[in-house]
Structure 1
Amino acid sequence: MIYIGVTGWGDHYSLYSPQMKAGDKLKEYGSHFPVVEVDASFYAVQPLRNATKWVRETPENFRFVVKAYQGMTGHQRGDIPFETKEEMFTAFKESLKAYQDAGKLAMVLFQFPPWFDCRKANVNYLRYCKKMMGDTPVALEFRNQTWFSSAFRERTLSFMKEEGWIHAVCDEPQAGDGSVPIVPEATDSNMTLVRMHGRNVHGWTKPNSGDTNWREVRYLYQYNREELLEWKERIWKLAKSSKDVIVLFNNNSGGDAAGNAKDFQELLGIEYEGLAPRQLGLF
């Protein structure tokens, strides 16, 4: 099956009425899409009550892609609120219990930073992460192009297959070492993840400044029909290699992700069953 959704559910204003409360948005989101990426888990290991609430508010066949905590992927530069890595991984795995018990956990996404390059120490750390996550389905997203250089591309894909990593295929700006090319290859027969980051080269590389929020420009991009048609062919090909393909649009700095996700659903001719009832905007 091909699941199409977006990253997060709070900021996609085209889906909600202006009067809708933040706490009601996930229920409404579930009437539009069958899958979502949980971003809050990247910034802090979430209390179990949050996942319990989110599971309760979504349809039976809804799926969550949960982003790994930033301390697990080397993003966090300050103090980590755990004494050991083992404690950190254990706490994160415990936070997944509600998704797992409800059969709604699609996978955990490990997105590594641009400085996580292809070298022995990092390969060993990937093995450690996989071991710590046990049987939990885990996806791997790189942000450093060395993993898919001509010297390492095939070995990277073989490693992911051997170790049991789901490939997070990316569409993103081609902006040097801190980005990866499109590599539409499945490494797991059950699932493949596709993340659509947009193609804003300037925003991707623009550093933080005193008057500009980097997150407000990095994903500022709207895919046109021709670009989505390119991905239509790639998705059908990936669907022949993986039972499920999850496509998440992350190009939301300008609010374009939800619209592009719906455009892509239409291009693929997909109509989802079992979505939540849509609220009526009468007042």
Structure 2
Amino acid sequence: MGDILVGTCSWTDRALVASGWYPRGRRDAEGRLRFYAERFPVVEADSSYYALPSERTSRLWAERTPDGFVFDVKAFSLLTGHPTRPDALPADLRPALARRRAPDPGGRDAGLLDELWARFTEALAPLRRAGRLGTVLFQFPPSLTPGPRSEAFVRACRERARGWPFAVEFRHPDWWRGDREPATAALLADLDATAVAVDTARDLPTSMPPFAPVTTRRLAVVRFHGRSPHWGTGSKEEAYRHTYTEGELAAWVPRVRGLAERTEQVHVLFNNCCADAAVRAAETMRRLLGEEVPHQLRHACMPLPGLWPGD
């Protein structure tokens, strides 16, 4: 039976910080992370999706967390084919982004991507050296629909990230629908990539099937995005606003345990926003799975509730 690590998709979300979950004296950058890491063993760093992280930042993350704590780091938006604002890049790379037209890993913008990959790798090196890197999450946009061209793009990303711990979350539901499901699982298994299972709203055109495949022995990942009816259409706050009920989480318990029986480790991460809804859901899931929840977490939630390139 593999280890099951439960946490949230951010420890710096504005709604969480404003909720009062962090006590006085623990609300600065260092205090928040240390407080979080005393209560959960895993967290997703999503800031790296919006802007290239720095080596100094990931070094501080490693220094402020205990042995055994791990970060799942979200890949920078441009690396996964998402639209990216020029000001998300370092100033010296912005002109190259302005000239770039579309994702083309082997073509005219290869020089820009080469530099982005190099800087991204360098930035995360402190986490690797400290044993704090769980996986790098490549969340591909809804515009990446199944087909040969999209598969080639995913393969090109994996080639650039050869040797990295690599997890994939597709945002177009057709990757996991009907007859396509086995082919998608086979693609990820061939790439030694972890398939990310998701929980989202049901019965919407953009709903993701709650399929939980195992494509690598090393790791399985489940991300709980909430069940807002605005999933895929509303603002970030609307799309992810949801308070999970115990029944909704209990339905996932046998699936999570099933993943643990087939992998070395399972990461269960909550991305539902609205005050401290994510940390409360994470605490409930840990209890349902039979994990021992630290006394501090129970008290806090009651009232407000590898190898890498170049190695």
Contact kept? 1:175, 1:204, Cα under 8 Å: no
1:91 CA drift (Å): 1.2
1:100 counterpart (97, 109, 128): 128
Instruction: Report Cα offsets for 1:80-108 as digits up to 9, x if no partner.
Output: 74442111111111111000000110000
Q: Percent of aligned positions with the same letter in both sequences?
A: 30
The DSSP-based 3-state class of the residue aligned with 1:178 is: coil
Mapped partners of 2:260, 2:67: distance in 1: 23
**Uncovered stretches (5+) of structure 2, i.e. residues with no partner:** 97-111, 301-311
Mapped partners of 2:52, 2:205: distance in 1: 29
Match of 1:211 in 2: none
The DSSP-based 3-state class of the residue aligned with 1:64 is: strand
Mapped partners of 1:18, 1:185: distance in 2: 42
CA shift in 2, pair 1:78/1:21, >3 Å: closer
Instruction: Report Cα offsets for 1:198-218 as digits up to 9, x if no partner.
Output: 1112x21444xxxxxx12221
Match of 1:265 in 2: 286
Q: Is 1:56 the equivalent of 2:58?
A: no
Mapped partners of 1:205, 1:51: distance in 2: 31
Contact kept? 2:45, 2:73, Cα under 8 Å: yes
Match of 1:22 in 2: 28
2:231 counterpart (191, 199, 204): 204
Amino acid at match of 1:239: A
TM-score by length of 1: 0.89
- Root-mean-square deviation (CA, aligned residues, Å) is 2.1
Amino acid at match of 1:236: R
Contact kept? 2:196, 2:212, Cα under 8 Å: no
1:177 CA drift (Å): 4.7
Further displaced range: 168-177 or 45-54:
168-177
Mapped partners of 1:154, 1:44: distance in 2: 34
Match of 2:38 in 1: 31
The DSSP-based 3-state class of the residue aligned with 2:251 is: helix
Amino acid at match of 1:265: R
Match of 1:227 in 2: 248
Match of 1:181 in 2: 209
Mapped partners of 2:25, 2:68: distance in 1: 28
Instruction: Report Cα offsets for 1:123-169 as digits up to 9, x if no partner.
Output: 00111111111111010001101111213110000111011110111
TM-score by length of 2: 0.82
Match of 1:5 in 2: 7
Mapped partners of 1:64, 1:78: distance in 2: 25
Moved over 6 A (4+): none
1:254 CA drift (Å): 4.1
1:1-283 equivalences under 5 Å are: 1-11=3-13, 12=16, 13=19, 15-18=21-24, 20-23=26-29, 24-79=31-86, 81=89, 82=93, 83=96, 84-174=112-202, 176-201=204-229, 203-207=230-234, 214-271=235-292
Mapped partners of 2:152, 2:40: distance in 1: 37
The DSSP-based 3-state class of the residue aligned with 2:65 is: coil
Contact kept? 1:117, 1:144, Cα under 8 Å: yes
Instruction: Report Cα offsets for 1:181-228 as digits up to 9, x if no partner.
Output: 011111110100100001112x21444xxxxxx122211111111111
Mapped partners of 1:190, 1:77: distance in 2: 31
Mapped partners of 2:170, 2:232: distance in 1: 16
CA shift in 2, pair 1:189/1:230, >3 Å: same
Contact kept? 2:77, 2:84, Cα under 8 Å: no
Aligned length: 270
Mapped partners of 2:170, 2:216: distance in 1: 16
1:116 CA drift (Å): 1.2
1:179 CA drift (Å): 3.4
**Uncovered stretches (5+) of structure 1, i.e. residues with no partner:** 208-213
The DSSP-based 3-state class of the residue aligned with 1:185 is: coil
CA shift in 2, pair 1:21/1:78, >3 Å: closer
